[in-house]
Chains A and B, each alone.
Chain A
Amino acid sequence: MTTTAALNAGERTARKDDPGAAPRKRRSGRLRRIGLPYLLLFPAILLELLVHLVPMVIGIVVSFKELTQFYIRDWDTAPWAGLDNYKLSVDFDAPVGEALLNSFFTTCLFTVLSVGLCWLLGVAAAIFMQESFRGRGFLRTVFLVPYALPVYAAVITWSFMFQRDNGLVNHVLHDQLGLTDSAPFWLIGDNSFIALLVVSVWKGWPFAFLIIMAGLQNIPKDIYEAAALDGAGVWQQIRRITLPALRPVNQVLVLVLFLWTFNDFNTPFVLFGKAAPEAADLISIHIYQSSFQTWNFGTGSAMSVLLLLFLLVVTGAYLWFTSRGRKVTDV
């Protein structure tokens, strides 16, 4: 009982800090009420239109065209293809569709594993770092290094380390620890999936750590004290206080990680170059290859639109489920 009441209080405090609540105070004066908000929003709306909406519409138009090297200079003169590009993309018995489907499943598996591991590591590290101890500041800084490094530099270093004959990974695994019979390949063949996952988690978990650490600051200490008095152990405290209190934070965190990971282009591209191994053929790279490497922009766009639809559906469903869940708790 005590726990729930205090928890709701905690949530309320958190909501008060929500920046969305701030503008209410400023609403005074007729002119301001009518014109100013729109005037202030105008640059954002204009940029939004130019940077996101217009290209997106063009992308959709292109997906209905037969855009190859013959037309890239004047792409609007390319002949209409009707639904051909879409048909080609979803014809799972033909090589193009089959490869797209494979790449889609690979990406799904990769995303679930990567987001899951990032989240687990982030939560574990954040909870561990809550207690103050000697060297906490240093450790916190070290944890954030992957997040602060430029992606390209970091991933290319990984690609050096994963080289079979001269790389550090095999040097440690094979030469020093003797864990493998022969030096395995990491950048080609089936292991490339593992290599990609390692780099992705290494790159992604500090963000989860950072966000969850911030979320933890919002949980009042006295709830834990009260729970401890009632006889709750560490595990019970994590399960009954920390995780439920982190719910709103997690909701956003998981969604953002999911979208970033699902669309991640930089990591596979820098790690494997233009032609990713089949085992690590993420969908973003796959679409890139379909568009830019085979100069088949219409088909590439159709695939992009399909991906967009899929992500919209997943995101919508996710938001619907999670927000419905929250309402139940609130009541």
Chain B
Amino acid sequence: MRRIRAAAVGAVTLSFALTLAACGGGSSGSEGSNEQPKTLTYWASNQGANLEVDKKVLQPELDKFEKETGIKVKLEVVPWADLLNRILTATTSGQGPDVLNIGNTWSASLQSSGALLPWDAKNFEAIGGKDRFVESALGSTGVQGQDPAAVPLYSMAYALYYNKKMFADAGIEKPPATWEELAETGRKLSKDGKWGLGAEGSNLSNNIHQVFVLGKQHGADFFTPDGKADFTSDGAVAAVKQYVDLMATDKIVAPGNAEYAQNQSLSDFAKDKTAMVLWQTASATFKAQGMKDDEWGVAPAPVQSGEPGSGKATNSMVAGINMAVFKNTKNIDGAKKFVKFMTSDEEQVVLNKAYGSIPPVKAAQQDPAFNGPALSVLRETLATSASALPQVPEESQFETVVGTAVKELFADAAAGRAVTTESVRAKLEKAQQQMPKK
């Protein structure tokens, strides 16, 4: 009995400590070996409508790779909600996959742990050279001035998706280009149980993507140039307030959206309940929800005024998935071959077509498949008006604490509590204090 009690008492400590205990500290500095040249383990992030879709997309390609090289790739598709934790556990224990997908915004955070193979000139040479990749995609592969921790695999950008029929019914001729126009258009559409804009108030990453772009438009970066957290600048406060105000004061976002975190706003959109969403590469999801391609339109995400561009006219983050290799792989040559295969011109077309994303490989972008009206908006955005999230080691903490602050503000707005500059600043201040001290 006493033993059981002790077990229960220490549960929290233990569950945490266990992860560490299994570790024995992976040796640092090594660059993998070739002890097991016949197999590879690959953690793919969930890109399709569900895990099965991903397996269907990827398995034939992995079979192709096996036929070419004789290396068998064991595939595991990891849901988004688990991915970062799984990588973290793999890093501490040293028991990870050989090759894995990471959200490109985590590149710098994961790079700082030292677990990922650095992509120096020699390694890049093995996959055909750095020049094959689009510049903006390379901007989200690690801290500037260091060898990238990962290689771009799929690129995405935010855009404004709108429901053509709902627009036509309300007599709206063209999609809004500025936030003011968006609010106005939204107000016309928000009635009879329908709403102008969808949001995912409880999705921390999505919150970050939105307020980061608004921050850019207000001249704020959330980090100082020397990499210190700077969440409470006037621009940052204004950005967060502007985003939450879409629900709180503009009232074009349904209060119920405050608890959305599982892409419910996309199914509301597909069911004609909301007229617009700000999303990255949503076409595959719309199709999965039963919406036809000609029922929705796509326009650049709004800016404060004028045309999207660089600096204060930024209207998207550089979104995407990178591919990384764990340093302590037992099949380093095979891992590089696999990255080369996945980033080859041919595979880039196949994979990005299946996921509705844009190839970060220049040659593959030329394929006509990426020239449709929807994808050309995204491609244009990526090329001219998208900014990479701060490439600092604390990026993933930033996503958590500021994402949570925005979630709490949405909860306030949904409950009808006032969202003021002071309340926004207080939440951001609390978030900043939670960041680890440097």
A256 to B91, CA, bound (A): 35
Interface-located stretch among A115-123, A131-139, A302-310? A302-310
A105 to B15, CA, bound (A): 23
A307 to B164, CA, bound (A): 55
A106 at the interface (CB under 8 A from B): no
Given contacts A94-B433, A164-B256, contact A301 B400 (CB under 8 A): no
B170 at the interface (CB under 8 A from A): no
- State whether B9 touches A311 (Cβ < 8 A): yes
A68 to B435, CA, bound (A): 11
- State whether B397 touches A295 (Cβ < 8 A): yes
Given contacts A59-B14, A75-B23, A294-B401, contact A70 B435 (CB under 8 A): no
A73 to B404, CA, bound (A): 27
B258 at the interface (CB under 8 A from A): yes
- State whether B259 touches A164 (Cβ < 8 A): yes
- State whether A58 touches B20 (Cβ < 8 A): yes
Mark each residue of chain B from 1 to 22: 1 if its CB lies under 8 Å from any CB of chain A, else 0: 1011111111111111110110
A274 to B180, CA, bound (A): 33
Q: How far is the CB of B15 from chain A (nearest CB, A)?
A: 8
B401's closest neighbor in chain A, by CB? A294
Residues from chain A with a CB closer than 8 A to the CB of B109 are: 69, 295
B26 at the interface (CB under 8 A from A): yes
Residues from chain B with a CB closer than 8 A to the CB of A26 are: none
A252's closest neighbor in chain B, by CB? B1
B150 at the interface (CB under 8 A from A): no
Given contacts A185-B414, A188-B411, contact A73 B113 (CB under 8 A): yes
A237 at the interface (CB under 8 A from B): no
Which residues, 55 to 85 on A, are CB-close (under 8 Å) to B? Answer: 55-56, 58-60, 62, 68-70, 72-77
- State whether A263 touches B11 (Cβ < 8 A): yes
B261 at the interface (CB under 8 A from A): yes
- State whether B12 touches A315 (Cβ < 8 A): no
Residues from chain A with a CB closer than 8 A to the CB of B7 are: 52
Given contacts A265-B12, A273-B261, contact A189 B20 (CB under 8 A): no
Q: How far is the CB of B228 from chain A (nearest CB, A)?
A: 15
- State whether A189 touches B414 (Cβ < 8 A): yes
Partner of B415, one of A189, A273, A278, A293: A189
Q: How far is the CB of A275 from chain B (nearest CB, A)?
A: 4
Given contacts A59-B14, A277-B411, contact A294 B400 (CB under 8 A): yes
Which residues, 255 to 274 on A, are CB-close (under 8 Å) to B? Answer: 255-256, 259-260, 263, 265, 273-274
What is the count of residue pairs linking A and B with beta-carbon distances less than 8 angstroms?
Answer: 176
Mark each residue of chain B from 41 to 61: 1 if its CB lies under 8 Å from any CB of chain A, else 0: 000000000000000000000
- State whether A295 touches B436 (Cβ < 8 A): yes
- State whether A58 touches B92 (Cβ < 8 A): no
Mark each residue of chain A from 165 to 193: 1 if its CB lies under 8 Å from any CB of chain B, else 0: 10000000000000000000101111000
- State whether A56 touches B434 (Cβ < 8 A): no
Q: How far is the CB of A119 from chain B (nearest CB, A)?
A: 17
Residues from chain B with a CB closer than 8 A to the CB of A72 are: 88, 91-92, 113
- State whether B414 touches A74 (Cβ < 8 A): no
Q: How far is the CB of B150 from chain A (nearest CB, A)?
A: 15
A121 to B255, CA, bound (A): 36
Partner of B400, one of A59, A70, A274, A307: A274
Residue from B259, B407, B411, B434 with most neighbouring chain A CB atoms (10 Å):
B259
- State whether A74 touches B10 (Cβ < 8 A): no
A250 at the interface (CB under 8 A from B): no
A94 to B432, CA, bound (A): 11
Residues from chain A with a CB closer than 8 A to the CB of B259 are: 163-164, 185, 187-188
Q: How far is the CB of A307 from chain B (nearest CB, A)?
A: 6
Residue from B115, B404, B407 with most neighbouring chain A CB atoms (10 Å):
B404
Partner of A62, one of B9, B20, B81, B435: B20
Interface majority SS on B: helix, strand, loop or mixed?
helix
A56 to B14, CA, bound (A): 6
A: number of interface residues (CB 8 Å):
66
A59's closest neighbor in chain B, by CB? B17
Mark each residue of chain A from 212 to 238: 1 if its CB lies under 8 Å from any CB of chain B, else 0: 000000000000000000000000000
Residues from chain B with a CB closer than 8 A to the CB of A76 are: 25
- State whether B17 touches A62 (Cβ < 8 A): yes
- State whether B400 touches A289 (Cβ < 8 A): yes
Residues from chain A with a CB closer than 8 A to the CB of B429 are: 95
A52 to B18, CA, bound (A): 9
A328 to B436, CA, bound (A): 52
Residues from chain B with a CB closer than 8 A to the CB of A189 are: 411-412, 414-415
- The 7 lowest CB-CB distance pairs between A and B, nearest first, are A59-B17, A55-B17, A95-B433, A304-B13, A188-B411, A259-B8, A275-B404
Chain A to chain B contacts (Cβ below 8 Å), 29 pairs:
A48-B3, A51-B18, A55-B18, A55-B20, A59-B14, A62-B17, A72-B91, A72-B113, A77-B25, A96-B433, A164-B255, A185-B414, A188-B411, A188-B414, A189-B414, A189-B415, A252-B1, A256-B4, A259-B8, A265-B12, A274-B400, A275-B400, A275-B404, A289-B400, A290-B434, A294-B401, A294-B436, A297-B20, A308-B10
- B residues sitting closer than 8 Å to A (CB atoms) are 1, 3-18, 20-21, 23, 25-26, 28, 81, 85, 88, 91-92, 94, 109-110, 112-115, 201-202, 204, 254-256, 258-259, 261, 393, 396-397, 400-401, 403-404, 407-408, 410-412, 414-415, 429-430, 433-436
- A residues sitting closer than 8 Å to B (CB atoms) are 48, 51-52, 54-56, 58-60, 62, 68-70, 72-77, 94-96, 99, 163-165, 185, 187-190, 252, 255-256, 259-260, 263, 265, 273-275, 277-278, 283-284, 287-297, 299-301, 304-305, 307-308, 311-312, 315
17 more CB-based (< 8 A) A-B contacts, given A273-B202, A315-B5? A56-B10, A69-B109, A69-B110, A69-B113, A69-B393, A70-B113, A73-B113, A163-B259, A185-B258, A189-B411, A275-B202, A277-B408, A283-B12, A289-B400, A295-B397, A295-B436, A308-B13
